[in-house]
Structure 1
Amino acid sequence: MNRTHGHVHPDVLGLLPDAAVAKHLSRAAQEGRERLPQVALLRAAESMDDAARRRVAPVRDLLDHAMRRFPDKRTAADGWLAPRLHATLRLTRAEAADGRLWNFLAMIVAPDYVVWRHKGAPTDRADGIAGAARFCGAHYTQAFSRLWWAAELFRNGADYRPVESACRVQDVLQTVLRLDVIDHRPTAQAMLGVIERQLAAGVPRPGDRVNALASAVNAAASTLVYDVLAPDREPDLEALSEWIEEAQHSPAVPLDRLPEGPDDGAVSRHSVEALLPMFEKLLAEAPVRDRGAQQGGAPKAAPIGVSLVKASDPA
């Protein structure tokens, strides 16, 4: 066991069932006023092997560093942490799909980080709170799962630079990450290309355009077959396996430059360029919901194709 700021955590990661989260997660803990019952949670968890990639200390060190590095810009921590968390844990997609791992991280290893990152502003009626879904929720909502999947789906082979771009607008994580179409890597990179152009142009409220783009791309997928229009290479599974095995001897990820991901194949630039003008046109023709203009008024209809998060939802 190790101790961080009075918080005791285990040496190795584990798997914590949803039922244990439901039983022990209290509103006081979500507000950061009460510590979770670590002993009871550890009893409910399933232990994992003690391979280097299962070690808690490197993950905990990253989270502590993120809180020190971004004390007044919590959302900025996402782009810094996502690639480093991905490169530290070195999971297969099948392993990352097991929500019990993320439950363990949120409830046992770093509940303080979940509260720090996702605690909403207090209101006249209630204190600020980190939503329960940030501790145990869908892959695009849970505090740590969303970062790992953002890094996995938006990286370009070993290059994590697109992940930083993806995390610059919170709506990419909150909306685009929900879409099945971004499993197709050229689609993910082409959407990022459109978003980066919008940011470079200095458009106001870029999140509104991200939501419109997500809706349009998702809706068009019912008639356009993106993987035919823009073929993707099969990932090099052997290179991925080697990268995972190298975790046993790899140093901690760098803090001031991006780590290197698995060299399992870059996305075809030709395929990305085949989709970019199409996605630019889809965005140009898509209805953009101006959430800023809706404050105090009746909500406007959202674009079809994807359920959009509310503007009031905490990032």
Structure 2
Amino acid sequence: MNTSPDILCIGSVLWDIIGRSSVVMRVGSDVPGHITRVPGGVAMNIAMTLTRFGMTPALLSAIGRDPAGEELTEQAAAMGMIVDHLYHSDDLPTDNYMAVEGANGLIAAIADAHSLEQAGDKILRPLSDGSLGSEDAPYEGLVALDGNLTVELLRQIAHSPLFSKSDLRVAPASPGKADRLLALVGHPSATLYVNLEEASLLCHTDFPSSEAAAKGLIARGCKRVLVTDGGSSASEATGEDVITLTPPKVLVTRVTGAGDTFMAAHIASEREGMNRHDALERALFAAATYVSGEIPK
């Protein structure tokens, strides 16, 4: 196995507990369906997709020294991820995420990522102790950052010399945590991956389309952004122009992890040398394939 990472995935690595039903649901619904427990979290979801594109991601996260953490670490290693740099806590349990999805999309979700938040900058030690880098020799390469990190830690990353030579790719964990990304607005090497709702929250404006949202984020100070709007459109913008494409039409069977799949596929495509248009198109196809259920998780 390759022991040199192609990218660092920093953030939530946890267990996803997902209940899915094929019927339309509302508050109080009690319906038949299926419940699964699989590796998840934004950083893990991105890493899993990257391995399918032949990349070797290294995980930087907090994992408990409990049976759940041991199993999660073993599964990550079996999938081809580098797990040597994970922070294992004796006191904190392995995090969990629980969601309920119906035919009408995500009904409700709860993210219990308290261990990651409490671990703080301990998860970044490999970037300063020489394992992956140091202040004198900062890590040079791709870094996928997860909005589950605290505002304080994201601010630290934004100003830290440890990330001065990194290509930062940033995603919020959810609309409820989108404002945490404000710490990285204006960072010269940060690319933000958000959906339309998250873009609107960051700019305190309701945008009518992904193109308008992408332009709004650039005006807000972002250097580069990618904005998705479900099955309607997706836009990639720099300070110069905007590219907008329409995703393939598919039957949606799941939604949790779709944004992470999109982000990972886009990163992998650019790493392979694809131009902006082709990378966006391939990422949209990967996300559509994922939500259709054709790609297992």
TM range (shorter): under 0.3
Write 1 or 2 for the structure with the bigger share of helix: 1
TM-score normalised per structure 2: 0.25
Write 1 or 2 for the structure with the bigger share of strand: 2
Structure index of larger Rg: 1
TM-score normalised per structure 1: 0.24
